[in-house]
């Protein structure tokens, strides 16, 4: 069960943004949409064993966590607007302390990274980490950032996590997920 | 200089489609937009050495080929609408027998796969091909299809091309490009 979590540093926490301006007014929501795409889509199939968390830290706050579950998700197409539409529906639901489902397989709750780190044993995907290709058994859960680096508070939370790298170059979060899943696919007996 | 070419079997050859309906009315233009994204984007950088061709074979026809050149392209952001906007501008230009630039680094010409195969020595990215990880020197140019398989006419054109595979699973074209570029990145001395 691969688990991904992507931090959206400026991603809006309410639904008051337009599908026509996901990179701008929505706070780089396009980055999170593409991470959902690469977490789940196979050719004519979905990765039913994957869970993808989006941590939204933008305005108006407070932060929220959205969870996409591959074994339950419906109405998800590969295009950015499709994931965006499910995110918007999740943000329009009042978030409580526990996950509540907004559409099938998509849920939302209050809180962000600090709480999420208690739910899974995350590793950090980071250029300076151990190359996944040469690594022994790989972890189940992976944490990534959007186009911005982890801030000081996040750094304090993640500094002791194991670190893995997928590439000698610095990649976008969605591309990093694709490469990591390729490594995991190749390890399936 | 990695070269990618993606066949858009139903992608419209004129500009009469909406950014709000790229998967529908535009003929899965979203697939081609994501292939442009994965061909070029690095974190805070572009792959200046990549060229990406899109072969548009949908209505109203006749088919057209759009070329994105990494060393010249401008105004390209990672979101689908951004690539879609440059594609639309290319389709609004009258296509002639030779490439004409519609925006910086983006050009369009008449014709499709048959002619393009004369421009580069393409290999086919295909699940049944040789695994790129174990392969010797890799080719420069790669041909992919969108969500549809190659049709009979295309099969006849590509049947003798060398075939390479990037994954034990069947992947979307854009994800395939990401994994292939990872293999190429790892081979840079």
Residues A1-189: name the CATH superfamily. Answer: SPOUT methyltransferase, trefoil knot domain (3.40.1280.10)
The residue of B11, B20, B168, B172 whose CB has the most chain A CBs within 10 angstroms, and thus the best one to mutate to test that interface, is: B172
Q: How confident is the model at residue A27 (pLDDT cuts 50, 70, 90)?
A: very high
pLDDT class for A1, splitting at 50, 70, 90? confident
CA dihedral B164, B165, B171, B173 (to 10 degrees): -20
- Residues A135-185 have pLDDT tens digits of 999 999 999 999 999 999 999 999 999 999 999 999 999 999 999 999 999
Reported as a single tens digit per residue, the pLDDT across B10-68 is 999 999 999 999 999 999 999 999 999 999 999 999 999 999 999 999 999 999 999 99
Asked if A42's CB is within 8 angstroms of B77's CB, the reply is no
Q: Which of residues 91-120 of A touch B (CB under 8 A)?
A: none
A26 contacts A87 by C-beta, under 8 angstroms: no
Average pLDDT over residues A9-36: 98
Write down the pLDDT at residue B85: 98
Residue of A144, A174, A177, A189 for testing the chain B interface, max B β-carbons within 10 Å:
A174
Which chain B residues touch A42 with a CB distance below 8 Å? Answer: 169-172
Over the stretch B53-109, which tens digit does the pLDDT of each residue have? 999 999 999 999 999 999 999 999 999 999 999 999 999 999 999 999 999 999 999
* Interface probe, candidates A182, A184, A185, A187, chain B, greatest B C-beta count within 10 A: A182
Closest partner CB to B167 (pick from A31, A77, A182): A182
Position A17 confidence tier, pLDDT thresholds 50, 70, 90:
very high
Tell me the ipTM for this assembly: 0.98
Looking at the complex, does the CB of residue B46 fall below 8 Å from at least one CB of chain A? Answer: no
Q: Determine contact, residues B122/B143, Cβ cutoff 8 Å.
A: yes
Q: Using N-to-C axis directions, what is the helix angle for B29-40 and B173-187, rounded to 10°?
A: 10
User: What is the average pLDDT value for chain A, to the nearest integer?
Assistant: 97
pLDDT in tens, B93-151: 999 999 999 999 999 999 999 999 999 999 999 999 999 999 999 999 999 999 999 99
Q: Does domain B1-184 have CATH number 3.40.1280.10?
A: yes
Sorting pLDDT into bands at 50, 70 and 90, what band is B1? confident
- Domain residue limits, chain A: 1-189
pLDDT above 90 (res A95): yes
Q: How confident is the model at residue A70, as a pLDDT?
A: 98
């Amino acid at each position: 069960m691969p688990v991904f979590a992507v931090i959206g540093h400026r991603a809006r926490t309410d639904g008051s943004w337009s599908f026509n301006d996901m990179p701008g007014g929505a706070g780089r929501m396009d980055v999170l949409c593409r991470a959902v795409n690469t977490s789940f889509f196979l050719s004519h199939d979905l990765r039913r064993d994957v869970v993808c968390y989006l941590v939204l830290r933008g305005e108006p706050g407070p932060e929220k966590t959205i969870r996409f579950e591959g074994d339950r998700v419906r109405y998800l197409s590969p295009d950015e607007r499709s994931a965006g539409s499910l995110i918007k529906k999740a943000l329009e639901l009042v978030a409580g302390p526990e996950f509540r489902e907004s559409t099938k397989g998509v849920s939302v709750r209050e809180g962000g990274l600090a709480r999420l780190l208690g739910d899974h044993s995350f590793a950090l995907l980071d250029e300076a980490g151990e190359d996944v290709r040469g690594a022994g058994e790989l972890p189940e859960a992976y944490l990534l950032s959007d186009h911005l680096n982890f801030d000081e508070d996040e750094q304090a939370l993640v500094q002791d996590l194991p670190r893995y790298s997928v590439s000698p170059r610095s990649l976008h979060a969605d591309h990093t997920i694709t490469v990591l899943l390729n490594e995991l696919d190749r390890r399936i007996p």
